[in-house]
Structure 1
């Protein structure tokens, strides 16, 4: 697909139309996102029929979406429905009406499909090889367990944030007794899944309830990075946030920054499910996946199976390379020089860079000073901002920040300026290592200053007066010699060894 495509997600609480466009890297990029709080779950009667009012709400909302899709040149529109329509006794009639009145072919997802699509989005956009996913909708809750990035178990509970409120809560917010009833109910339901008990794995949350919880947490912590995808919360933070939300009146909930006003009444039941799941599984952390069912539908349609963790990260870097027109021939030369220097310093026991750190350095070399695409003069600032604040599938937030600090390295002063808001994230030793790696990257780039692949080989020897870099060149290298001499001083301070350069 080179053009635009769309998906309509008919949930129990909200209906949403999302239009995507293929960007030059091949990634699906949102260009329109329209939400309607239809709360179809409230229109299911005691016999599980969607009432006439509910059907009218569905048709009028889809008709409004139709007017939007008609204004775009779309190659494909997928229309999927989840728990409320699936559970409706008159679902076949509803399907026919939707086709007749709006022209949309509405696909009613099975419990398995709804769980599978969420899992598929997670394993294609996160680094986890094993974990538990949860997607709390308005009328159902899907939980999966995957190992080695393969789906092992799944279950769909016929309750969600909206149906819990409808079943247990008489007013806007639950009373103390109603909260106890909800908690007992949730615990009894989750306890029935033997395969989640004491798993001690990350819980990956999908969907609006998880997203809103993370947004509240970020606001309360004055979180310094942009982006929700792969945001991580320790279990104790989730518990404290649940207690805080539990203490608020409806007026205060509706004004709570980070929480959509239309979710105020539903937030507490949803958070009680998250809290109980974390407790039962003894989860190591709660992580948000910004990608969920909608993305999973497209991954399957593109016949994209569950990716390897390395493939997820490779795909993200391919996007960066295409989006910022990174010269990969130059990157290959600089990476070769960098790894050569690392190996030499390891051999001399000046450094002890392990395989994981070598990979991290290689990634940083790929995007080093990529902000020059925007403005060469302020390349460092743009590089740091872009990498620190852009979602990079496969990298957790701290890993993304490490990448940004290395790839934007200019000098000690600028490094400290970038790192200062994140002092609590790193030890002094970690910051020193990141600064050293940044300086090594900059030195390696100086040895390809004219982008002519002048340097053939770098060897390092330990001399009485310090480290001697033997740099073999294949042609005139005045520019490289000048730039390397300028960068040498940064490197020798961090390595705590005098450095001498010998070009030949």
Structure 2
């Protein structure tokens, strides 16, 4: 089946975004382009709930430009949605007609629960948390959802988006303490009823531009080593410090904050106050950031067209997706995985690792050669770069670093952290050395990429390991190369090692 492209347009209360995905249903996908425009659709709506003429025109012109882009790029499949501002506006129907007539776009007007469902679907297909509370703050509202068993359960929509809360509560620059107190009071009144009936100690996941931008600010504050935002953990204590700083600054001063989008400087304070207070009510000490939200949820209904639109294995799909994008030799990769895991299982008494390490080793084996997409020479180094530059949904940043480093050391070299120390734990370098040693031996036992080594047997003695490679056909190259590359194994495990040829029964 040929690859398709789809454009998803999300007309929010503050920002309009267009994302383009290339995909093959149920198999793989890639984000290939993105456009963003600040429209402030809900600005000045007030109690009358009328989209103002200037905001109306800004949004329409943005939709016209998005449609023009799609036509020029040859993207025929477009799914365009509008959320709270249009949904609540008295002239919302008029706006939908104008979008149809001027931009040629049929906007879906998403109800609040549908918006929350799509956000939940994005989280379920990109993060390893079956149960969670999800915060999605936009310009017009904060959607708070409960997910259980990777499925949407219920949601509440609070009229406290970054734009609406700013206009209703924060009238001065810098804001006054009494304004902050009033916004906190309103947030608490919204939160009390919703959180009272929720299960305790659930992780909190944050989506939406305001939350992501707050996380960007914290990443700059701590000089975070990865550019990737997805699965970044924002501590409540750090968020509190950011909000305290925002409250004290003028809009002009906020524009100088590293990591803060200048076009959010006038609304970020209200968004931060609301999110922090909601996080306080949840009882969580941190918030996990999702780089995927409404737009990705809508896309997943196309990628996985059958209900409930869920990936069976988020982590496995991420690895397969990455392999397919760059360099996929399934037979070789699968066999390196088989040999790696056979070594892992046979040598359990030496490394004493469990299911988690075994899983990471298997995933690394499937993408160990993706650096070949750049060049054969130094492809192990290119592989680390590609893994650490990619979104790898379902994996923590620590796990991503370990997988990337396993790719880096699958050929040669003595393992080091490569600058990712901040993502790793104290014993991870020993873990990396032992797992990389197994992956390296497996790679060279599959040196001719012909699956000649059919099985392995490990014989463990006092200070000595003998690996018996059961071959079909001439395995001279595999045997020679594996013995030439066994030094890392000897160093990591503190034993002498020998690879010998065995015979299939």
Range into which the TM-score falls when normalised by the shorter chain: over 0.9
Higher mean C-alpha deviation, range 384-393 or range 4-13: 4-13
Q: Are 2:414 and 2:488, in contact at CA under 8 Å, matched by a contact in 1?
A: no
Q: Are 2:463 and 2:494, in contact at CA under 8 Å, matched by a contact in 1?
A: no
Partner of 1:498: 496
Partner of 2:434: 436
In 2, the alpha carbon distance for the partners of 1:456 and 1:244 equals 62
Matched ranges for 1:11-410 at <5 A: 11-22=12-23, 27-195=28-196, 199-302=200-303, 303-306=305-308, 311-346=313-348, 349-409=349-409
Higher mean C-alpha deviation, range 28-37 or range 137-146: 28-37
Instruction: Give the C-alpha shift of residue 177 in structure 1.
Output: 1.4
The secondary structure found in structure 2 opposite 1:316 is helix
2:455 to 451, 454, 457: 457
Change (3 A) 1:207 1:272: same
Q: Are 1:84 and 1:139, in contact at CA under 8 Å, matched by a contact in 2?
A: yes
Change (3 A) 1:117 1:457: closer
Unmatched 5+ stretches in structure 2 = none
Instruction: Give the C-alpha shift of residue 392 in structure 1.
Output: 0.8
Higher mean C-alpha deviation, range 350-359 or range 195-204: 195-204
In 1, the alpha carbon distance for the partners of 2:67 and 2:470 equals 65
- Cα deviation, 1:5-28, whole Å, max 9, x if unaligned, reads 223222111222333333899644
Q: Are 1:129 and 1:309, in contact at CA under 8 Å, matched by a contact in 2?
A: no
Q: Are 1:333 and 1:453, in contact at CA under 8 Å, matched by a contact in 2?
A: yes
Higher mean C-alpha deviation, range 280-289 or range 15-24: 15-24
Change (3 A) 1:246 1:197: farther
The secondary structure found in structure 1 opposite 2:288 is strand
Instruction: Give the C-alpha shift of residue 78 in structure 1.
Output: 2.2
Aligned residues: 500
Q: Are 1:200 and 1:284, in contact at CA under 8 Å, matched by a contact in 2?
A: no
In 2, the alpha carbon distance for the partners of 1:57 and 1:226 equals 31
In 1, the alpha carbon distance for the partners of 2:341 and 2:380 equals 22
TM-score computed with the length of structure 1 as normaliser: 0.92
Instruction: Give the C-alpha shift of residue 248 in structure 1.
Output: 3.0
- Cα deviation, 1:109-142, whole Å, max 9, x if unaligned, reads 1111111111111111221111111111111111
The secondary structure found in structure 1 opposite 2:13 is coil
In 2, the alpha carbon distance for the partners of 1:56 and 1:312 equals 41
Higher mean C-alpha deviation, range 14-23 or range 219-228: 14-23
Change (3 A) 1:461 1:239: same
The secondary structure found in structure 2 opposite 1:402 is helix
Change (3 A) 1:326 1:301: closer
Change (3 A) 1:462 1:2: closer
Instruction: Give the C-alpha shift of residue 144 in structure 1.
Output: 0.5
In 2, the alpha carbon distance for the partners of 1:107 and 1:464 equals 69
Higher mean C-alpha deviation, range 75-84 or range 36-45: 36-45
Q: Are 1:198 and 1:282, in contact at CA under 8 Å, matched by a contact in 2?
A: no
Instruction: Give the C-alpha shift of residue 225 in structure 1.
Output: 1.5
Unmatched 5+ stretches in structure 1 = none
Partner of 2:465: 467
The secondary structure found in structure 1 opposite 2:145 is strand
Instruction: Give the C-alpha shift of residue 145 in structure 1.
Output: 0.7
Instruction: Give the C-alpha shift of residue 457 in structure 1.
Output: 2.7
The secondary structure found in structure 1 opposite 2:488 is helix
TM-score computed with the length of structure 2 as normaliser: 0.92
Q: Are 1:226 and 1:390, in contact at CA under 8 Å, matched by a contact in 2?
A: no
Question: How large is the Cα RMSD of the aligned pairs?
Answer: 2.4
Higher mean C-alpha deviation, range 192-201 or range 443-452: 192-201
The secondary structure found in structure 1 opposite 2:419 is helix
Higher mean C-alpha deviation, range 481-490 or range 298-307: 298-307
Partner of 1:5: 6
- Cα deviation, 1:350-375, whole Å, max 9, x if unaligned, reads 23232222222111111123212321
Change (3 A) 1:109 1:65: same
Change (3 A) 1:334 1:43: same
- Cα deviation, 1:185-225, whole Å, max 9, x if unaligned, reads 11121112135667322211111101111111111111111
Higher mean C-alpha deviation, range 397-406 or range 65-74: 65-74
